[in-house]
Amino acid sequence: MSGYLSYFFVGLQQVSALGAVLVLWAALSALGGLLAGRQRMAEGDALYGWAAAAFVLTALGVVFSTPFTYVAWGLLAVALAAIVVRVRREGGIFSGPAIRAALLAAPLLIIASALEPSQWDEFSHWLPASRFLFQTDGFPGAGNPVTGTQMLYAYPYGWPLLTYMASRIAGHFVENAGALLNLFLLLGFGLTAVRVALSGAGRDGAAGGVTGGSWGLAAVAVLAGTLFNPTFSQKVVLTAYADTPTAVVVAFGAVLGWRMLGALASGEAGPARRLAWQFGLVMVVLVGIKQVNLTLFVILVVAIGVAGLRDPAVPWRSLAKQLPAAIVPGLAAYGLWRYHVATALGDPVLFPAAEATLMPYANWNVGLVPQILLQMLVVASKKGVFFAVMAIAVVFAARGLVRFRGPFDRLAIVVAGTFLGYNAFLLFVYVASFAAVDALRAVSYWRYNMHVGLLAGVFGAYAAGATWRRFPRVRRRAGALAGLAVVVVVGAPLAFPHKLRIDLEPPKPHFSAVAASLAGTLSAETPLFILDPLGTGESAVITRYRLNRHAVPYFSAFHGNSAEAMDGFASQLGPGARLLVHSVTPPARRALSMELEEGVSYLLARERTGWRIERTWPHPAPPGGAK
């Protein structure tokens, strides 16, 4: 029993982590609800507040180098005032369905609060970026150089700023804030999907939020963001990765743009203006999450514009009037950050490899386009549900462009246009930015499609609502279906907690524990290298993060296992160096002139006459005692 409970409860630190994220979410929601006005899509309150907080922190940090602590506590004070106003005006911060969805998702949230970092990109960028903000109280720049773990310095910091603010509230760095925030974002998306489904069923939610209020409806919202989400992956959602926030913001922006077009088609100029303003706020968030998201911003705006121009009921002049509110906030936020990159991060010596760039045209993989396209199709064929839904959306969008019929065609054009535009961009990136070996295997193609993955949820939600409206027999079983949804939402995490505790996957906990034990004993000046010829190099990125080092040279399976390669690596290790060994092979033993055992990690000290064993860590037994 204690083993089962350990999936959920690991210590008091998870209480502070969950509490800090809850406070942050409430503060952002209160601030965003006040900023967006009474007639808004309340499911996006936290996004509107996030936009305001990120813009203020970025502006003051870039222009005046104001320490973030002052700005963060000032924003919290404003948020507290917003909470008072919201409670008096609206009776609370969150809607009934939102509260019920969070309560139903409590087992999932508790598991997330127990997680530790476990994925490669968490250690190589997202967590170092958040920790840098927390430790230095500002953005990297000439006056605030990066001395710790290497990261992509020029990436936007809109996503790490949330972990920074949660950590300020908690009083310590909250490593798993990203996983908790991702779940809250998906709950918000689920409520948005329910709203879209209600639109398809002819029962649209009220302006202030989704109506209904039943536990079954709340359970459906949770399912929409998790089990019914065709791009849901524990190793992406339950991490500090920025893919989930990107997907949520893209989907929510698409819904806002679609509803704005609906308001214009109905001649409702006021609601259209308000929706355009909300869209603009959400785009501030989008461009601040990842470097590449400016492309998604442009593609989404173009897709909405095409849908509006194709709709005969939408006056093009009225559509054009919404453009300033819809695009200026995002462009302003993007321009502000690029100004900082140009003025503070432009020194290639201080900030090498600051962000991803395009290769010189002579190195582009133009001749490989057919093979790249084929590999993209191969990957797509293995993820059939998502790509099948998007293929259906493309068919309906094409039909709508030929013969426009109403809201469903409008939504299909927005969804399919964004999907096709982004995949065309991905092809361009494989050609212009990736090395040939990575382009030919369409590296991370599925993960990149997660950025537009929730568009399938939006399209499917409307189709489900329309189907619900058309078949009364299904509606008569609503009670049973609602009960089943509640059981699944609550029961799935309780039945399969081991599937969600991705941080317990061997050998990651061992690597992390070994690195943590070195943090207090190995000085920052001591040269450290890692030998893991049977590993992927993950032990190195974990160690580098745990020791807060800029770089830790390593040798992994990808460096080859020949005697020549091993000897070349060993020749770099001079007297005084330390070598952390996590696996051994015959060439490794020969290069070190030591008979090291398998199943043991070693810390070796380089002396003039050879190597000396300083510490050892036996590898933990596999789960269940398997061998």
**pLDDT tens column, 21-61:** 999 999 999 999 999 998 899 999 999 999 999 999 999 99
- What integer pLDDT is reported at residue 475 of this predicted model? 67
Q: What does the alpha-carbon distance between residue 6 and residue 12 come to, in Å, rounded to a whole number?
A: 13
In order of 4, 107, 115, the CA distances from 7 in angstroms are 6, 10, 9
**Is beta strand 528-532 parallel, antiparallel or unpaired with respect to 578-581?**
parallel
Where b means 16+ CB within 10 Å and e means fewer, 62-101 reads: beeebebeebbeebbebbeebbeebeeebeebbbbbbebb
- What integer pLDDT is reported at residue 112 of this predicted model? 98
Residue 248 — very low, low, confident or very high, per pLDDT cuts 50/70/90? Answer: very high
Q: What does the alpha-carbon distance between residue 136 and residue 276 come to, in Å, rounded to a whole number?
A: 36
Q: What does the alpha-carbon distance between residue 250 and residue 231 come to, in Å, rounded to a whole number?
A: 14
Whether residue 468 is predicted with pLDDT greater than 70 in this model: the reply is: yes
Residue 212 — very low, low, confident or very high, per pLDDT cuts 50/70/90? Answer: very low
pLDDT 10s digits, 354-368: 788 899 999 999 999
**Which residue, chain included where needed, has tokens 């299909």?**
412
Mean pLDDT of the 158-162 span: 98
- What integer pLDDT is reported at residue 213 of this predicted model? 52
Q: What does the alpha-carbon distance between residue 146 and residue 340 come to, in Å, rounded to a whole number?
A: 15
Residue 89 — very low, low, confident or very high, per pLDDT cuts 50/70/90? Answer: very high
| Calculated CA dihedral for residues 403, 407, 409, 413, nearest 10 degrees | 120
- Residues 6 or more apart whose Cβ sits within 8 Å of residue 358: 432, 433
Widest distance between CA atoms in the chain: 85
Token digits of residue 590: 């020969």
- Residues 6 or more apart whose Cβ sits within 8 Å of residue 587: 533, 561, 562, 563, 565, 566
Element housing 2 (H / E): helix 2-5
Task: For each of the domains in the chain, give its residue range(s) and CATH number, in order of start.
Answer: 11-353+362-473 (no CATH), 508-625 (3.90.950)
Tell me the percentage of the chain whose pLDDT exceeds 90.
86
Whether residue 627 is predicted with pLDDT greater than 50 in this model: the reply is: no
| Strand residues in 90-195 grouped as ranges (E) | none
Give the count of alpha carbons within 13 A of 379, CB side only.
19
pLDDT 10s digits, 109-128: 999 999 999 999 999 999 99
Whether residue 559 is predicted with pLDDT greater than 80 in this model: the reply is: yes
Residue 404 — very low, low, confident or very high, per pLDDT cuts 50/70/90? Answer: very high
Mean pLDDT of the 307-326 span: 97
Give the count of alpha carbons within 13 A of 587, CB side only.
19
Mean pLDDT of the 128-149 span: 94
What single letter denotes the amino acid at residue 139? F
Whether residue 563 is predicted with pLDDT greater than 80 in this model: the reply is: yes
Residue 206 — very low, low, confident or very high, per pLDDT cuts 50/70/90? Answer: very low
Neighbour count for residue 29 (Cβ, 10 Å) = 27
Whether residue 322 is predicted with pLDDT greater than 50 in this model: the reply is: yes
Mean pLDDT of the 387-395 span: 98
Mean pLDDT of the 474-502 span: 89
- What is the separation of C-alpha 126 from the centre of its chain, rounded to a whole number of angstroms? 10
Q: What does the alpha-carbon distance between residue 122 and residue 130 come to, in Å, rounded to a whole number?
A: 10
H-assigned helices in 526-606: 538-546, 563-570, 586-592
Across all residues in the chain, what is the average pLDDT?
94
Would you give the end-to-end CA distance of the chain in angstroms? 24
Q: In what order do the strands lie in the sheet with 600-607?
A: 554-556, 528-532, 578-581, 600-607, 610-618
- Residues 6 or more apart whose Cβ sits within 8 Å of residue 22: none
Handedness of CA 519, 525, 531, 536 (dihedral sign): positive
* Closest to 194 (Cα-Cα) out of 43, 39, 38: 43
Residue 351 — very low, low, confident or very high, per pLDDT cuts 50/70/90? Answer: confident
Angle at the Cα of 206 (from 204 to 208), degrees rounded to 5?
140
